[in-house]
Structure 1
Amino acid sequence: MSTAMYAVRDSATMLRRNLKHMARYPSQTLMLIALPLLFLLLFVHVFGSTMGAGLPGAPAGDRGDYLTFVTPGILVMAVASVSISTAVSVATDMTGGIIDRFRTMAIAKVSVLTGHVLGAMVQTALALAAVFGVALLLGLETAASVMQWSGVIGLLALLSFAMTWFAVALGLASPNPETASNWPMLFIMLPFVGSGFVPVESMPAGLQWFADHQPFTPVMDALRGLLAGAPHGEDVPWAIGWSGGIGLAGYLWSRRLYRTRAAK
C-alpha cells in the first residue's frame, strides 16, 4: 500500500473517531445548529418588519424580503459557529495527552488534523441543512437555477473547508481549550459588520469601508446573488479568492504548528 493510501486510511479512521465523539455528545452539535437558527428566527420575526422596511426598494415592513436578505448572513454564521467546536476539539487533543499516544502509533501525521477537518465539515453540513430547511419553511423565495444552487453549495463547502483549517490552526495555537473557544468568536461577529444583516451602504463611512473589505462580505453578497438568480460579476471571484486565501493560510499555519507542538 502506498503512502498516500495509508494517509487516506488513517484519515478515515480519525474521521470515525470524531464522528463517534459527535454521537457521544450530541448536545454540542445541537448547540452549533441552534445558534444560527436562533439568530434567523430572532431577526426575521422580531426585527424583520423594521429591518425589511430599510432595504432598498422593499415595501414597508416586508419580512419576506428581509428573510431573503438575511439568510446568507445566517449561513455564514453557521459555518463560523462550527469553528468554535473545531478549535476546542483540537486544543483538547493537544493538551490532553492523546497526541503523545498517536506519536507512538504507525499512523500518518496528517490524518489527525484531517480527521478534525472532515468531522467539522460534517457538522457544518448539518447546520447549513437546518438553516436552509427552516428558512424555506419561513417562506424563503429563490430564483436560483440548478447551476446556481450548485454554486451556493460549492461556495459554502469551500468556505467551510477554509474556516475549518483556520480554526484548526487557532486550536493548535491556543494553550488550552478555554482560550481556543474565544478566538473563533471573531468569525461569528464579522457578519454583523458586513453585509449580513443590513446593507453596507447604510453604515457610517469608516465602518462601511471595513465592511466592504472584510472577507465575509463578498461571500454573503455572492450567496445572495446566487440565491436570487442574478449573481454580481465581481462577488463570486472575490468570495472564492478570500475563501481560498483563508484556507491556504490556515492549512500552512496548522501544519507548521502541529509539527512544532507534536515534536515536543
Structure 2
Amino acid sequence: MTATTSPTTRPSLRWAVSDVLTMIGRKLRHVLRTPDELIVSLILPITMMLLFVFVFGGALDRSGGYVDYAVPGVLILSAGFSASQTGIGLTSDLVTGVVDRFRSLPIVVSSVLTGHVVANLLRNLVSTTLVILVALLIGFRPAANVLEWAAAFGVVALYILMISWLSMIFGLLAKTVEGAGQFSFVILFLPYLSSAFVPTETMPDALRVVADNQPATPVIETVRALLTGSPVGNSAAWALGWCVGLGALAFVISSVLFVRRTSR
C-alpha cells in the first residue's frame, strides 16, 4: 500500500518556501504583463537625473563633477518611489478578493506579503542597474571596487525593503487602491529633504535638522561614499539602523494588520 502525502503533512519550511516562490513568480508575471509601472520607475529617475545634472548641475558645480554627487541621490529617489508602491498591489489583491481566494487554499498566508515585497525588491534592483548604466553614459565615474559595489547594492536593497514594508502598512490600512497610492507621494519627496542633491550644510538650520535626522540622508551618504571612494564614516551605522530597525517594526505591524484584516 502506497502512502500519500497530504498538504498538511508536508514539511512546513519546504511548504513555506514553495508558497513564497509561487507568490514571487505570480507578482513578477504581473510586472511583465503590465510593464507601465517598470517604465514609470525608470523614466522618473532618469528624467530627474538629466534635469539636475544638465539644468542645475552647472550652477551647483561648475567643475562638471555634479553628476558624481547627484547619482546616489537619484538611485535612492528611484528605489524609494518604486518601493512605496508595493502596498498598492496588496490593496488591489484585498479589494478584488484575491487574498480571500488564497486563504481558501492550503498555503502559508504570510507568503502573500513576502511575495509582494521580494518581487518588488527584484524589480527595483533591475531598475537601479539600468539607471546606473544611463548615469555612466552621461559621465558618472564611480571609484568603487567589487566589494564596494556589492555593499552599495546591499544598502539600496535594505532601503527598498524598509520602504516596501512601510508601504504594506498603508496598503493594509487603505480601503482603495487610490488611497494606498498616497504613500508614494510622501516617499517621492523624502530625498529632496536630504543630502540627495545639495549638502545639508547649505540648508537653513531648522531644515537641516530634519534633513540630518531622517532615513534617506544616511542611506544616500553611505551609497555615495561607497561609489565615489569617500570615507563612509558613521553614516553606514545610521543607514543600517534606520533600515533594519524601521523595516523590522514595519514588518511586525504589517503582519499583525494583515491577520486582522483577513480574519474579518
- Which TM bucket (shorter chain)? over 0.9
Q: 2-side partners of 1:209 and 1:162: how far apart? A: 22
**Which one-letter code corresponds to 2:19 in the other structure?**
D
CA deviation after TM superposition for structure 1 residue 4, in Å: 1.2
Match of 1:246 in 2: 246
Q: How does 1:131-210 map to 2 (within 5 A)?
A: 131-210=131-210
TM-score, with structure 1 as normaliser:
0.93
Match of 2:60 in 1: 51
1:11 partnered with 2:20: yes
**Which one-letter code corresponds to 1:28 in the other structure?**
E
CA deviation after TM superposition for structure 1 residue 182, in Å: 0.8
* Count of equivalent residues: 255
CA deviation after TM superposition for structure 1 residue 10, in Å: 0.6
* CA offsets 1:113-162 (integer angstroms, 9 cap, x no match): 11101110121012101111111111111221222112111111111122
Q: How does 1:10-29 map to 2 (within 5 A)?
A: 10-29=19-38
Q: 1-side partners of 2:154 and 2:118: how far apart? A: 16
- Asked if structure 2 preserves the Cα contact closer than 8 Å seen for 1:11 and 1:114, the reply is yes
Q: 1-side partners of 2:102 and 2:17: how far apart? A: 16
Match of 1:58 in 2: none
Match of 1:55 in 2: none
CA deviation after TM superposition for structure 1 residue 222, in Å: 0.8
1:42 partnered with 2:47: no
**Which one-letter code corresponds to 2:44 in the other structure?**
L
Alignment root-mean-square deviation, CA: 1.1
**Which one-letter code corresponds to 2:135 in the other structure?**
A
Q: 1-side partners of 2:225 and 2:158: how far apart? A: 17
Structure 2 spans left out of the alignment, 5+ residues: 1-9
CA deviation after TM superposition for structure 1 residue 83, in Å: 2.4
- Asked if structure 2 preserves the Cα contact closer than 8 Å seen for 1:90 and 1:116, the reply is yes
CA deviation after TM superposition for structure 1 residue 256, in Å: 0.6
* CA offsets 1:187-221 (integer angstroms, 9 cap, x no match): 11111011001110110010011111111101111
**Which one-letter code corresponds to 1:90 in the other structure?**
L
Match of 1:121 in 2: 121
Return 81-90 or 134-143, whichever deviates more. Answer: 81-90
Runs of 4+ in 1 over 3 A off after TM superposition: none
**Which one-letter code corresponds to 1:159 in the other structure?**
Y
- Asked if structure 1 preserves the Cα contact closer than 8 Å seen for 2:195 and 2:217, the reply is yes
Match of 1:215 in 2: 215
User: Per the alignment, do residues 237 and 84 of structure 1 end up closer, same or farther by CA in structure 2, a change over 3 Å counting?
Assistant: closer
- Asked if structure 2 preserves the Cα contact closer than 8 Å seen for 1:73 and 1:197, the reply is yes
Structure 1 spans left out of the alignment, 5+ residues: 53-60
Q: 1-side partners of 2:84 and 2:145: how far apart? A: 33
* CA offsets 1:38-60 (integer angstroms, 9 cap, x no match): 101111111110122xxxxxxxx
- Asked if structure 2 preserves the Cα contact closer than 8 Å seen for 1:215 and 1:242, the reply is yes
What SS class does the counterpart of residue 149 from structure 2 fall into? helix
What SS class does the counterpart of residue 190 from structure 2 fall into? helix
